[in-house]
Amino acid sequence: MDANAVNKNEKVLAKDVMTADIISVFPETPVKEVARLMIENKISAIPVVTKYNEILGVVSENDLINKIVKPHEPGIMTLLYHAAFAPSHEVLEYRQAMTRWNAKTAEDAMTAPAICVGPDDTVETVGHIMLDDKVKRVFVAEEGHLLGVISRSVFVELLLRE
């Protein structure tokens, strides 16, 4: 983080506070390898990228909880309504949860799309996105290519530097 950029009179940009040295995985990476990387590197999420570093999604600790804990099945009335009339939100969520529960690869387990900001977005914009979407991190990307990550700890650091 550029200490000189943190000044109340100056707009702090995502590129000024992002961590550029990040670990990522490919869609075909086995879920257990994703988990191992998270534990070894003490990180709570890993972006999933193409061989061209285009961000596809993210595997978080929450996604891996879904890999261990079998989802609750929707009730019979929900299933009947779903079959007779229209797709039920509960049934669609159940299907997604079952896909994660059965996940073998990062692509199966990931949440997509990942929440991204541009390098020239302000930290204030990043903070609003994190609060509104209730996420612990956002990725910095340009034209879909992953540049870095900003986690909540950046805001704690910024507070101390004010």
pLDDT tens for residues 26-76? Answer: 999 999 999 999 999 999 999 999 999 999 999 999 999 888 877 667 666
The structure's pTM equals 0.80
The torsion angles phi and psi of 22, rounded to 5 degrees, stand at: -120, 155
State yes or no: pLDDT of 118 exceeds 70.
yes
**What is residue 38's predicted lDDT score, i.e. its pLDDT?**
97
Region of residue 48 (phi > 0: left; psi between -120 and 50: alpha; otherwise: beta): beta
| Cis amide prior to 87 (ω within 30 degrees) | no
Who wins on pLDDT, 116 or 67? 116
Span 117-126, average pLDDT: 96
Out of 66-75, 94-103, 110-119, least confident range: 66-75
Contact 106, 25 (CB under 8 A): yes
State yes or no: pLDDT of 83 exceeds 70.
no
